[in-house]
């Protein structure tokens, strides 16, 4: 019955997603504020049509949270669905094969900003919910909370969660905002890294100078910044900030051996990214480097003259945006503080350094022995024909740790995206296979979760 309904409504399910993908709900850029609001309204209408009750846009200090619920029976378990309707900026536009907010379907994939992250994945939940409501198979109570600021650090969602604690009761948080290994190798994400994001400003002379008249005699803040940044990793690619690894949860040999059983093809990985070789912390393999190990990366660096032709100048200022991905049991506050202290301490007297923290988030590991994980595992097995593999991811969803600390709830990360979906990159895509498989798999989760919670 469920699959019949999904099949009968497939074209509409896809077209509704395409309609939402036409809304450029970029949260990072105030220019798109009206579109962000339009997306929230759009989602509100679709939730009402799908059969949700008490649907509303809940105000926050930033973009509204789209809330809706269906409480079928207080004796049933309650699933809280989280997702986000905001997207990353689409820049650089010229690298897109088709415009980012004019979705097209090509070779079985939808191409658009947000196709996978997270509009495609989030909307699977709306359509799975509609399917369960319309076929009378909804086995759990549901609350939706879809936010509009995930891509800018969910800075106002903590307050939303605290303010609406009484309303946000339930048994588990269900999220599709991660990936899986491959279409024939489903996986469930069991961990996310935390994040410390900050900006540094290095000031040399109080004004831009002629690089001939002053060159060699004063500090060039770009040269100095580069030296400082280079010194943050040693020859083994370990981070040199004192105490950085103090609280890092080291996995046992057994846990690492277990991880190594997930299929991974290094040659394919290099080929997909056009790399001569991979790079990372000595003593760890690629799959560990990008999931269970903490990192430090420069996300952007600027200063001086970058226009046409040449200008001979020693700039007054240089800047960089730096992020650190964190693992249990590092905390964002601790690492931000350690970075700041260290970075200030290595600055030579010839420059002034300011470190400005941006936003952060805590790492999480989710249990694999819970009814919710079991239900998710059974759901994938039912629709994919194979048992999903638990995999820790390197990405971050800051609110997941907060759901645990504020609401006491674990999350289940049922992602259906692939690395090749190119989230945050030009030509982001999402497979129609993945979209439809998600809509099929989610109702199975509800079914098994209700059974296991009895
Ligand atoms: N959905 C991603 C996170 C993700 C993607 C986790 C794939 C695991 C697998 C999310 O939208 C995201 O991009 N998060 C940001 C953090 C945020 C604070 C900007 C990230 O990980 O950079
Ligand atoms: Mn996302
Ligand atoms: Mn994202």
> What pLDDT does residue 297 have?
98
Would you put residue 270 in left (φ > 0), alpha (ψ -120 to 50) or beta? Answer: alpha
Evaluate if residue 331 carries a pLDDT over 90. yes
Which residues have C-beta under 5 Å from ligand 3, the single-atom ion?
117
Mutate which of 190, 397, 412, 430 for ligand 1 pocket (most atoms within 8 A of beta carbon): 397
Domain boundaries, the chain: 2-192+363-452, 194-248+294-361
- In angstroms, rounded to a whole number, what is the distance separating the alpha carbons of residues 174 and 172? 6
Token pair for 330: 């590092």
Mean pLDDT of 378-404: 97
The best mutation among 177, 363, 419 to test binding of ligand 1, ranked by most ligand atoms within 8 Å of the C-beta, falls on 177
State the burial class of residue 233 (Cβ atoms within 10 Å of its Cβ: 0-12, 13-18, 19+). middle
Mean pLDDT of 271-296: 98
C-alpha dihedral over 386, 14, 431, 101, to 10 degrees? -150
Environment class of residue 181 by beta-carbon count within 10 Å: exposed (0-12), middle (13-18) or buried (19+)? middle
Distance CA 403, CA 389 (A): 24
What's the CATH fold of domain 194-248+294-361? Alpha-Beta Plaits (3.30.70)
Output the CA 87–ligand 3 centroid distance in Å: 7
CATH of domain 2-192+363-452: 3.40.630.10
Residue 305 Cα distances to 7, 200, 316, 318, angstroms: 57, 18, 11, 11
Alpha carbons within 13 A on the beta-carbon side of 291: 19
- Span from the CA of 122 to the centroid of ligand 3 (angstroms): 12
Q: Is 432 left (phi over 0), alpha (psi -120 to 50) or beta?
A: alpha
Q: What digits encode the pLDDT tens for the residues 118-166?
A: 999 999 999 999 999 999 999 999 999 999 999 999 999 999 999 999 9
- Ligand 1 atom having least distance to the Cα of 417: 7
407-440 pLDDT, tens digit per residue, is 999 999 999 999 999 999 999 999 999 999 999 9
Question: Exactly one of 16, 86, 149, 171 is catalytic; which is it?
Answer: 86
pLDDT for residue 359: 87
From the number of C-beta atoms within 10 Å of its C-beta (0-12, 13-18, 19+), residue 143 rates as: buried
Task: Tell me what the mean pLDDT of segment 325-336 comes to.
Answer: 98
| β partners of residue 198 | 322, 357
Q: Which residue has the tokens 């409501």?
A: 133
Please compute the mean of the pLDDT values over residues 256-264 and round it to a whole number.
93
* Model confidence pLDDT, tens digit, residues 93-122: 999 999 999 999 999 999 999 999 999 999
Sheet-wide strand order for 104-106 = 104-106, 109-111, 429-431
Which percentage of the chain shows pLDDT scores above 90? 100
Nearest CA among 412, 249, 264, 247 for reference residue 331: 247
How high is the pLDDT of residue 38? 98
Tokens encoding 170:
């339930």
- pLDDT tens by residue, 36-54: 999 999 999 999 999 999 9
User: Which two tokens mark 205?
Assistant: 């002379």
Task: Give me 212's structure tokens.
Answer: 């001939």
Please state the atom number of ligand 1 nearest to the C-alpha of residue 177.
1
Cα-only R_g, the chain: 23
User: What are the backbone dihedrals phi and psi of residue 407, each rounded to the nearest 5 degrees, phi first?
Assistant: -110, -10
Q: Would you say 417 and 340 are in contact if contact means Cβ atoms under 8 Å apart?
A: no
| DSSP 8-class letter at 98 | S
Q: What residue has token string 């109080």?
A: 206
CA–centroid distance, 113 to ligand 2, in Å, is 11
Ligand 2 centroid to residue 121 C-alpha, Å: 9
Rounded to the nearest angstrom, the gap between the alpha carbon of residue 178 and the centroid of all alpha carbons in its chain is 7
**Among 395, 399, 450, 429, residue whose Cα is nearest residue 178:** 395
Residue 150 a catalytic site member: yes
Model pLDDT, residue 383: 98
| C-alpha span between 214 and 207 (Å, rounded) | 12
The ligand that comes nearest to the alpha carbon of residue 152 is 1
Query: Which ligand 1 atom lies nearest to the CA of residue 359?
Result: 18
Listed residue (279, 292, 64, 50) closest to 192, CA to CA: 292
Nearest CA to ligand 1 atom 19: 151
Report pTM: 0.95
Write down the catalytic residue from 150, 151, 362, 440: 150
Residue in the structure block whose two tokens are 């991880």: 259
Tell me the per-residue pLDDT of 344-378, one tens digit each, with 9 for 90 and over. 999 999 999 999 999 899 999 999 999 999 999 99
List residues near ligand 1 (CB under 6 A). Answer: 117-118, 150-151, 153, 177-179, 192, 195, 361, 393, 395-398
pLDDT at 454: 86
Write down the pLDDT at residue 338: 98
User: Which letter does DSSP use for residue 394 in this model?
Assistant: S
The CA 6 to ligand 2 mean position distance, Å, reads 25
Q: Which of 120, 151, 190 most suits a substitution to test ligand 1, by most atoms within 8 Å of the C-beta?
A: 151
Distance CA(118)–CA(132), nearest Å, equals 21
Note the pLDDT tens digit of each residue in 78-94: 999 999 999 999 999 99
Q: How confident is the model at residue 329 (pLDDT cuts 50, 70, 90)?
A: very high
Model pLDDT, residue 233: 98
pLDDT on residue 242: 98
254 among known catalytic residues: no
Residue 7 pLDDT exceeds 90? yes
Atom of ligand 1 nearest to the CA of 117: 1
Give strand pairing partners of 87.
26
CA of 210 to the centre of ligand 3 (A): 42
Determine the Cα–Cα distance for residues 332 and 157; give it in Å rounded to an integer.
17
Residue in 446, 445, 255 with CA at minimum distance from that of residue 365: 255
Q: Return mean pLDDT, the chain.
A: 97
151 CA distance to ligand 1 centroid (A)? Answer: 7
**For 175-204, what is the mean pLDDT?**
98
Q: Which two tokens stand for residue 351?
A: 């420059």
């Amino acid at each position: 019955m469920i699959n019949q309904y999904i099949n009968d409504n497939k074209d509409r399910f896809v077209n509704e997603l395409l309609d939402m993908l036409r809304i450029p709900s970029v949260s990072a850029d105030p220019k798109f504020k009206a579109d962000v609001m339009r997306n929230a309204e759009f989602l509100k209408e679709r939730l009402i049509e799908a059969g949700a009750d008490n649907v509303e846009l809940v105000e926050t200090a930033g973009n509204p949270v789209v809330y809706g619920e269906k409480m079928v029976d207080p004796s049933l378990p309650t699933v809280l669905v989280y997702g986000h309707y905001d997207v990353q900026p689409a820049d650089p536009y010229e690298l897109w094969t088709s415009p980012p907010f004019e979705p097209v379907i090509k070779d079985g994939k939808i191409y658009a900003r947000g196709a996978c992250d997270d509009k495609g994945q989030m909307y699977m939940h709306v359509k799975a919910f509609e399917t369960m409501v319309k076929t009378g198979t909804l086995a759990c109570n549901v609350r939706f909370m879809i936010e509009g600021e995930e891509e800018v650090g969910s800075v106002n969602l903590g307050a939303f969660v605290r303010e609406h604690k009484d309303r946000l009761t339930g048994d588990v948080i269900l999220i599709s905002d991660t990936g899986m290994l491959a279409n024939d190798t489903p996986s469930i994400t069991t961990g996310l890294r935390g994040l410390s994001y900050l900006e540094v400003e290095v000031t040399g002379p109080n004004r831009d100078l002629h690089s001939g008249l002053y060159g060699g005699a004063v500090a060039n803040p770009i040269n100095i910044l580069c030296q400082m940044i280079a010194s943050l990793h040693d020859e083994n690619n370990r981070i040199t900030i004192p105490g950085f690894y103090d609280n890092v949860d080291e996995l046992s040999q057994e846990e690492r051996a277990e991880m190594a059983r997930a299929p991974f093809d290094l040659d394919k990985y290099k080929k997909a990214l056009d790399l001569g070789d991979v790079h990372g912390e000595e003593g760890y393999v690629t799959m560990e480097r990008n999931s269970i190990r903490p990192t430090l990366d420069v996300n952007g660096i600027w200063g001086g003259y970058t226009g046409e032709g040449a200008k001979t100048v020693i700039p007054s200022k240089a800047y960089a945006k730096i992020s650190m991905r964190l693992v249990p049991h590092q905390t964002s506050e601790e690492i931000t503080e350690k970075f700041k202290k260290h970075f200030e301490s290595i600055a030579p007297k010839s420059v002034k350094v300011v470190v400005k923290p941006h936003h952060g988030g805590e790492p999480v590991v989710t249990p694999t022995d819970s009814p919710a994980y079991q239900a998710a595992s059974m759901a994938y097995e039912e629709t994919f024909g194979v048992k999903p593999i638990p995999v820790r991811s390197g990405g971050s969803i800051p609110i997941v740790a907060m759901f645990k600390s504020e609401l006491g709830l674990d999350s289940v990360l049922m992602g259906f995206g692939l690395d090749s979906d190119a989230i945050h990159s030009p030509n982001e895509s999402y497979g129609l296979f993945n979209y439809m498989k998600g809509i099929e798999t989610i109702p199975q989760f509800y079914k098994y979760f209700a059974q296991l919670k009895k």
